């Protein structure tokens, strides 16, 4: 059973300063604070998403990860 969806305040505390549309997009997913935190961990440890590891985020974590990944500045 999932917990309650993260609030804008919780998302801000976990992810730092984000544009309002990004926060709204994350809130629409209905991700819990724990799922937002897990998505951030995936983003920070991107090498674990290599195809040969067989590991990747799923569900709400994956959706939040994709939003955060799109917000990263291009190198």
Q: Which tens digits make up the pLDDT trace of 5-47?
A: 999 999 999 999 899 999 999 999 999 999 999 999 998 886 5
In a domain, 2, yes or no: no
64: buried, middle or exposed (CB in 10 Å: 19+, 13-18, 0-12)? Answer: buried
Residue 33 domain flag: yes
Q: Does any domain span residue 1? A: no
Residue 44, domain member (yes or no): yes
Q: Convert the pLDDT of each residue in 37-73 to its tens digit.
A: 999 999 888 655 555 555 778 899 999 999 999 988 7
pLDDT value, residue 56: 76
pLDDT greater than 90 at residue 1: no
Q: Collapsing DSSP states into helix, strand and coil, what is residue 57?
A: coil
DSSP code of 32?
B
What's the number of domains the chain is made of? 1
Tell me, what's the pLDDT at 58? 87
- For the chain, what percentages of helix, strand and coil (3-state, to nearest 5) are there? 65, 5, 30
Rounded to two decimals, the pTM is 0.84
Domain assignment present for 17: yes
Give the span between the Cα atoms of 8 and 2, in whole angstroms. 18
What residue numbers bound the domain in which 18 lies?
A: 8-71
């Amino acid at each position: 059973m999932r917990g309650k969806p993260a609030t804008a305040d919780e998302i801000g505390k976990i992810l730092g300063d984000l544009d309002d549309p990004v926060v709204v997009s994350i809130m629409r997913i209905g991700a819990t604070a724990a799922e937002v935190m897990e998505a951030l961990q995936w983003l920070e440890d991107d090498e674990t998403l290599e195809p040969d590891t067989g590991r990747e985020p799923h569900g709400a974590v994956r959706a939040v990860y994709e939003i955060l990944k799109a917000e990263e500045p291009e190198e």
